[in-house]
Structure formats: structure tokens, C-alpha cells
Structure 1
Amino acid sequence: MASQTQGIQQLLQAEKKAAEKVAEARKRKAKRLKQAKEEATQEIEKFRSEREAAFREYEQRHMGSRDDVAVRIENETRARLDAMNKSVAAAKDKVIADLLERVICDVKPQLHKNLRLNKA
């Protein structure tokens, strides 16, 4: 009976060692996954920064800086506003005269053509 107890003890110890090895393997796996995730994140950030730098270079080469674009838009807007103001100043008197002509009507009172007067 002592040999059975000893055999059971050995099985329990073997089972305990196996459980420890499985737990250790799970920890190593989790550690490797965490490390792989960190490496992937670093690679993504590196790739993103490279692509952003390339885009900024492309933008600078083809469009100029954003300040240049803003200045160009400001100049175009100012030129358009000046042209509109000149157009308004040139046509202002004519438009006012036309409006006054249409608003001020010379009303000539006359009887309606269908009116019948009874002569009694």
C-alpha cells in the first residue's frame, strides 16, 4: 500500500511539474505576443512618419508652402473684391436711375374702357 501511495505522490508531482511547465509556456507566449505587438507599433509609427515626411516634401515641391498658398488666395480675393467694387461704382448711377424710373410712375387717370355711363 505504501508503494501505491508513493506512486500516487509521483503522479501528483509529475502533474504539478506539467502544470508549472504549461503556465511557464503561457507566460513566455504572452511575453512574446506583447513584444511582437510593441515591435509592430514601432514599425507602424516609423512607416507613418516616413510617409508623412514624403507627403510634406511632395506638397512643398508641387504646391509650395501653406503660407504661400494662403498669400496667393488672399491676393486673388483682394483682386476680385477690387474688380467688384469698380464694377459697382461704374454701374451705380445707371442702376439708381433705372430703379427710380421704375418706381416713380406717371399715373394718368382715365376711365376704364368698359365703363358705361347712364345718361339720364
Structure 2
Amino acid sequence: MASQTPGIQQLLVAEKKASEKVGEARKAKAKRLKAAKEEAKVEIDTYRNQIEQGYKDRESNILGSRDDVKVQMDQHREMVIQQLGEQAAINKQKVIDRILDLVFDVKPELHVNYSLPQSTS
């Protein structure tokens, strides 16, 4: 039994070659799977970017940009401040005159609850 038959030797060599081929096939499959995943990731990212860009375009068309809204709010605030300043300037003298009239136009009179002392005669 020291010398095995050539048939068994051939079977062992064939089995070794077969397992090597199976291992190579597994490695090739894993490599193809990894490449397919990377390719799919690139496609997904591209599609996501397209969808997001379309959404942003539609949002800016419908709502306007945030800068436009900020500019409109700033303009409105400035307009209100200007109107309040104009109204204050117009009514300033009227208020001063009214306060002076109330302070200087003193009419001394007794309070309604005050009663004169009764004389005892």
C-alpha cells in the first residue's frame, strides 16, 4: 500500500484542482458582487441628487428663494419704521401742546366728597 494506485493519485489531484477552481469562482463572485454594489450605490446617489435638485428648483419657483423672503421682510420692516417715525413727527407737537395745556390750565375747585364744616350758631 506504500505505492498507491495511479487512479487514486489522479483523483486526489483532480479533487485539489476542483477545490481551487471552486475557491477562484467564489472569489470572482464576491468581486462581482462588490463591484455591482458599488455601481448600484453610484446610480442611487446620482438619482437622489437629481430628485433633490428637481425639488429645490420647484420649491424656489413656487415659494421664491429664502433671500427674496428676507429682503421682502426687511423692506416691510423699514417701511413700518418709517411710517411710525412720520406719525411721531406729525403728532409730536400736538402731544406737547396737550400736555402743556393740562399742566398749566389748573382750575381750582373742591372735590365733590368734600363738605363744608357746619357752623354751630
TM-score category by the smaller chain? 0.5 to 0.7
Using the aligned pairs only, state the percent identity: 12
Q: 1:10 to 1:92 in 2, by over 3 A?
A: farther
Question: 1:74: how far off?
Answer: 2.4
Match of 1:8 among 12, 15, 28: 12
Question: 1:75: how far off?
Answer: 1.7
Q: 1:92 to 1:28 in 2, by over 3 A?
A: farther
- Aligned-partner Cα distance in 1 for 2:75–2:89: 21
Matches within 5 A, 1:1-120: 1=4, 2-60=6-64, 65-66=68-69, 67-83=71-87, 91=95, 94=99
Q: 1:85 to 1:7 in 2, by over 3 A?
A: farther
Larger radius of gyration: 2
Length, aligned pairs only: 95
Q: C-alpha root-mean-square deviation of aligned residues, in Å? A: 3.1
- Aligned-partner Cα distance in 2 for 1:83–1:44: 54
Per-residue CA deviations over 1:65-95 (Å, capped at 9, x if unaligned) read: 3434432332223323444566666546739
Q: 1:38 to 1:84 in 2, by over 3 A?
A: farther
TM-score (norm 1): 0.62
Amino acid at match of 1:51: Y
- Aligned-partner Cα distance in 2 for 1:89–1:16: 104
